[in-house]
Amino acid sequence: MSDNILLEMKHIHKKFPGVYALKDVNFELRAGEVHALLGENGAGKSTLIKCLAGIYIPEEGEVIVKGQSHIMKSVADSQAHGISVIHQELCLVPYLSIAENMFLGRERNIAGVIKRGQENEEAKKMLSRLGLDFDPNTLIKDLSIAQQQMVEIAKALSVKADILVMDEPTASLTDKETEVLFETMRQLKAEGIGIIYISHRMSELFAITDRVTIMRDGQYVGTVNTRETTNDQLIAMMVGRELTQLYFKDEVKPGKVVIEVKDLVSPPFVNGVSFAVREGEIVGMSGLVGAGRSETAHCIFGIDGNYTGQILIDGKPVHIRSVRQAMQNGIAMVPENRKEEGLVLINSVGYNLTLTVLHEIFRGRPLGNSRMENDTITRYIQELAIKTPSAEQLAENLSGGNQQKIVIAKWLATKPKLLILDEPTRGVDVGARAEIYGFMNELAKQGVAILMISSDLPEVINMSDRVLVMHEGKITANLGKNELSQEIIMSFATGTGGKVNAA
Amino acid sequence: MPLDNTLKAQNGFVRYFKENMGTLIGLLIMCVILSFTTNGVFYSQRNLVNVLRQVSSNACLAFGMTFAIITGGIDLSVGSILALSGTLSAGFIVNSGFSVQQAVIAAIVIGTCLGLFNGFVIAKTTIPPFIVTLAMMQIARGAAYIYSNGQPIRAMIPEYQVIGTGYLGPIPYPVIYMAVFLIICVVLLSKTRFGRHVYAVGGNDKAAIFSGVNVARTKMLVYTMSGFLAAFTGVVLCARMASGQPTAGQSFEMDAIAATVLGGTSMSGGVGKIGSTMIGVLIIGVLNNGLNLLGLNSFWQQIAKGIVILLAVYVDMLKKRRK
């Protein structure tokens, strides 16, 4: 590896009202290296990148690009210095062609008339440099996500960038597509381009990066050579402590049946589902996307009131056609998408925490019981260790993990008998994940029945007492703790059920 | 992490001034300028009472509008419901031989029902509130014209007129109505469960559903309330003029929206306060009154209003972006 340093960021400080987003952060990028930026959500990675891209201007610190000290004043300024950022959400116009997208904003033209031929030719040259054989006239909407990603890279290179920032480029790619992307990245490395790579997937860091810089709470933690480090060391640096165990699951003797579901049908996704969950039991629900897991939960929780079949709570048949009725029966649900279904983001933490218990706070008191309200808010912020400067902070300003804790807290406040968790740790960083598993374990010990829908197989296997697998709206397996493995779950989830067993 | 509850502990008034600093300063500057340019006429008791009476109808409509906009909707039908209820109240007395009491109650009930209908359609279908209330705006206006044959219905009945022209001490009745509705709406929005639900529906209706909030009922109540306020205002206005005017309240919905937006309520929902809307109402009222006193004709007033709205909202956005 050459010691040719492309970029240095020294002692960068960036303050937002009341908080340091970046505090004395250092970063260095060499020519021909892939340098990962690693940290939990809210660690300051994107803020640092925005300082480099000219979206934010740091208050203090120095940025040295190719030997020249220069603080980026705008995105155009940053691009002029050879820095190109590929954002997580692709910024291509779907109904324009590849070439049109590549030259958007800097069209090759004579007196305003576009030189289509020249654009196509240049685009083709750029694409072939990446080993791509696309027709530049192809519309973006006709490309796969991975192909669009490649076009983004080609576009970035066409502005003569030698510093490339990739923010979670593999988030929506399949394994195969990821491999193609990595091949391209290796080629770019060989050409002396420096790549800053942001990803949460540890395995990828070991596959593609040369060095890793770790950030935590807006501060620089350290830089290590990928070849000399381990998974555990990286996690420890990220979380700030030795995370000896991610999963906490104690043995709990299940009590009486809390909920029993019989022949639940709600076309097209739920086609005859029956199961039961007992006190103190954590039942995992696995399956592919579209298998009808969330839809089943929506029937039980009263979101979908048009089901047929029977739901029994404590052995008694109940009528659940609205969320209100579900709540009256002691059912709580942490939905799949906390930003869309879980939180009123533009309102405060306290407001969100009490949204489910307003009927108690306002019972017999038209103007509410503010003492009870404050007690509830304070209690759950402390109990779930929600990191927020105050209860008045807007929910949208919290990290993903803390937002998820608010959603969990607002349902714990209803003292549920049955807690349904739909993808409880999606988009949650590793520290908060461990905490959430801790809460689940604690709740189970207190006798709460938990139904956990999850696509994260290690999570399902490690946290569940039992796993139900769904396929095409039906439960295809009910697996005990000692029969669990990723292969068996997947075989039932894909409908080839039991073949692994037989083999 | 220690919990910072200072914001909570803050006095409600201090908080109100902090939140509305920009518009309050704007209002103050306008008042100061007017005190110099009108030789004190602006500050005469008669004029100040006049301003309050003039803004009272817009205030009542704007309170309802604030609720609708916070839920992420809008109510374009208020001006027309106002006209219909006002016309009906006069007509019921003159044409149908109702007592004043019966006529007023019936007219308000009908206007409120139109609001309920708005709310019902908005809650039960996916038709956007803009469209639903736009349709109601046409329907109610048309109904007012049909009922009155397009002519004002004279109702020179003291018992009726007093609703709009009466005084309690030095204070005109319409100002008292405004004050009462102001207090009720402030309490409803900031202190009650219903108020919480209004913010939840506009802030994120999906999350509201997933939290057990009855979104449909909340929307219905909001538009019913807006309809009631419009109907009530219509009766007061027509009583004051001693005539049911089917043309009353033309473009009143726009003034109500302007006042709400001036107060900082977000058009995308989830954010807003009645107290802030009241400042917006006063800004528009003082602006109209001041330009009148200065002898500028009403066409110029419209231009001035437009400029003030643009400026105020721009300043508000700058303030928020800096946060």
Output the domain CATH number for residue A371: 3.40.50.300
Q: What are the pLDDT digits (tens) for A415-440?
A: 999 999 999 988 787 888 899 999 99
Percent of chain A with pLDDT over 90: 50
Number of domains in chain B: 1
Q: What are the pLDDT digits (tens) for A263-320?
A: 999 988 999 999 999 999 999 999 887 889 999 999 999 999 899 999 999 999 998 9
| Average pLDDT score over residue span A466-494 | 90
CB contact under 8 A, A327 and B187: no
A249 domain-assigned:
no
Confidence class for position B8, pLDDT limits 50, 70, 90: very low
pLDDT of residue B253: 96
CB contact under 8 A, A323 and B212: yes
Residue B286's nearest CA partner among B34, B23, B44, B21 is B34
pLDDT of residue B305: 86
Q: Enter the tokens of residue A329.
A: 């029966």
CB contact under 8 A, B211 and A356: yes
A208 domain-assigned:
yes
Do residues A330 and A405 both lie within one domain? yes
| Average pLDDT score over residue span B289-309 | 87
Q: Does the CB of B7 have a partner CB in chain A at under 8 Å?
A: yes
Number of domains in chain A: 2
How far apart are the C-alpha atoms of A346 and A350, rounded to whole Å? 12
Residue A454 pLDDT > 50? yes
Nearest-neighbour CA in chain B from A232: distance (Å):
27
**Chain A contact set for B213 (CB, 8 A):** 355
Confidence class for position A170, pLDDT limits 50, 70, 90: confident
Q: CA dist A43 to A50, A146, A162, A237, B39, Å?
A: 13, 27, 26, 12, 61
| Average pLDDT score over residue span B236-253 | 95
CB contact under 8 A, A389 and B192: no
Nearest-neighbour CA in chain B from A393: distance (Å):
10
B20 domain-assigned:
no
**Chain A contact set for B7 (CB, 8 A):** 390, 392
| Average pLDDT score over residue span A376-398 | 92
| Average pLDDT score over residue span A444-464 | 92
CB contact under 8 A, B3 and A391: yes
Nearest-neighbour CA in chain A from B137: distance (Å):
31
Task: Give CA A154 to chain center in angstroms.
Answer: 26
Do residues A219 and A314 both lie within one domain? no
Bin B200: left if φ > 0, else alpha if -120 < ψ < 50, else beta: alpha
pLDDT of residue A1: 41
Interface with B, mutate which of A321, A328, A333, A346 (most B CBs under 10 A): A346
Residue A35 pLDDT > 90? yes
B38 domain-assigned:
no
Percent of chain B with pLDDT over 90: 75
Q: What are the pLDDT digits (tens) for B219-235?
A: 999 999 999 999 999 99
How far apart are the C-alpha atoms of A436 and A246, rounded to whole Å? 10
Query: What is the three-class DSSP state of A197?
Result: strand
The secondary structure of B141-158 as a DSSP string is HHHHHHHHTTS-EE---H
CB contact under 8 A, A346 and B8: no
Which structural domain range is residue B310 located in?
A: 49-289+296-315
A89 domain-assigned:
yes
Number of neighbouring beta carbons within 10 Å of residue B186:
17
Do residues A136 and A222 both lie within one domain? yes
Q: What are the pLDDT digits (tens) for B147-172?
A: 999 999 999 999 999 999 999 999 99
Do residues A36 and A107 both lie within one domain? yes
Q: What's the number of CA atoms in the CB half-sphere (13 Å) around residue B84?
A: 29
| Average pLDDT score over residue span B288-303 | 87
Identify the bridge partners of residue A216 per DSSP, sorted by sequence position: A219
B143 domain-assigned:
yes
The H or E element that residue B1 is part of is none
B42 domain-assigned:
no
CB contact under 8 A, B211 and A410: yes
A169: preceding bond cis by omega (within 30 degrees): no
B247 domain-assigned:
yes
Do residues A215 and A286 both lie within one domain? no
Looking at every residue in chain B, the average pLDDT score rounds to 92
pLDDT of residue B3: 42
CB contact under 8 A, B210 and A341: yes
| Average pLDDT score over residue span B171-195 | 96
Do residues A229 and A261 both lie within one domain? no
Determine the residue type at A472.
E
**DSSP code for A338:** I
Confidence class for position A497, pLDDT limits 50, 70, 90: low
**Chain A contact set for B208 (CB, 8 A):** 344, 355
CB contact under 8 A, A358 and B196: yes
| Average pLDDT score over residue span B212-225 | 96
pLDDT of residue A231: 83
Which structural domain range is residue A196 located in?
A: 5-239
Residue A72 pLDDT > 80? yes
CB contact under 8 A, A374 and B4: no
Do residues A234 and A318 both lie within one domain? no
Do residues A193 and A261 both lie within one domain? no
How far apart are the C-alpha atoms of A292 and A431, rounded to whole Å? 30
Q: What are the pLDDT digits (tens) for B24-67?
A: 998 999 899 888 888 888 888 899 999 999 999 999 999 999 99
Q: What are the pLDDT digits (tens) for A196-213?
A: 998 877 788 899 999 999
**Chain A residues bordering chain B (beta-carbon distance below 8 Å):** 17, 301, 303, 322-324, 326-327, 333, 335, 340-347, 351, 355-356, 358-359, 361-362, 366-368, 374, 378, 381-382, 387-392, 410
Do residues A286 and A226 both lie within one domain? no
pLDDT of residue B173: 97
Burial profile B137-146: b = 16 or more Cβ within 10 angstroms, e = fewer: bebbbebbee
Determine the residue type at B24.
L
pLDDT of residue A147: 83
pLDDT of residue A146: 77
Which residues contact residue A297 at a Cβ distance below 8 angstroms, ignoring those fewer than 6 apart?
A: A285, A333, A420, A422, A451, A453
B125 domain-assigned:
yes
The H or E element that residue B97 is part of is none
| Average pLDDT score over residue span A447-466 | 92
Q: Does the CB of B191 have a partner CB in chain A at under 8 Å?
A: yes
Q: Classify the C-alpha dihedral A207-A213-A214-A216 as positive or negative.
A: negative
Which of A239, A272, A294 is the last residue before a domain boundary? A239
How far apart are the C-alpha atoms of A417 and A258, rounded to whole Å? 7
Q: What are the pLDDT digits (tens) for A242-272?
A: 666 788 888 889 999 999 999 999 988 999 9
**DSSP code for A386:** -
Q: What are the pLDDT digits (tens) for B91-127?
A: 999 999 999 999 999 999 999 999 999 999 999 998 9
> Are B103 and B268 in contact, with CB atoms under 8 Å apart?
no
**Facing residue for B214 by CB, picked from A324, A367, A374:** A324
A248 domain-assigned:
no
Do residues A343 and A400 both lie within one domain? yes
CATH number, domain containing residue B145: 1.10.3470
Burial profile A277-293: b = 16 or more Cβ within 10 angstroms, e = fewer: bbbbbbbbbbbbeebbb
**Chain B contact set for A341 (CB, 8 A):** 206-207, 209-210
Which of A182, A206, A239 is the last residue before a domain boundary? A239
| ipTM, interface predicted TM-score of the complex | 0.81
Largest CA distance in chain B: 71
Q: Enter the tokens of residue B287.
A: 């602006």
Residue scoring higher pLDDT (B197 or B298) = B197
Percent of chain A with pLDDT over 70: 96
pLDDT of residue A36: 94
pLDDT of residue B204: 94
pLDDT of residue A133: 84
Looking at every residue in chain A, the average pLDDT score rounds to 88
Confidence class for position B2, pLDDT limits 50, 70, 90: very low
pLDDT of residue B179: 97
**Chain A contact set for B5 (CB, 8 A):** 374, 390-391
> Are B42 and B293 in contact, with CB atoms under 8 Å apart?
yes
CB–CB contacts below 8 A, A to B: 90
| Average pLDDT score over residue span A28-50 | 87
**Chain B contact set for A297 (CB, 8 A):** none
B2 domain-assigned:
no
A250 domain-assigned:
no
CB contact under 8 A, A355 and B213: yes
**Chain B contact set for A322 (CB, 8 A):** 212, 214
Interface with B, mutate which of A343, A344, A383 (most B CBs under 10 A): A344
B36 domain-assigned:
no
Which of A239, A272, A292 is the last residue before a domain boundary? A239
**Chain B contact set for A347 (CB, 8 A):** 199-200, 203, 270
Do residues A230 and A274 both lie within one domain? no
Residue B242's nearest CA partner among B160, B147, B149, B141 is B160
CB contact under 8 A, B210 and A333: yes
Q: Does the CB of B211 have a partner CB in chain A at under 8 Å?
A: yes
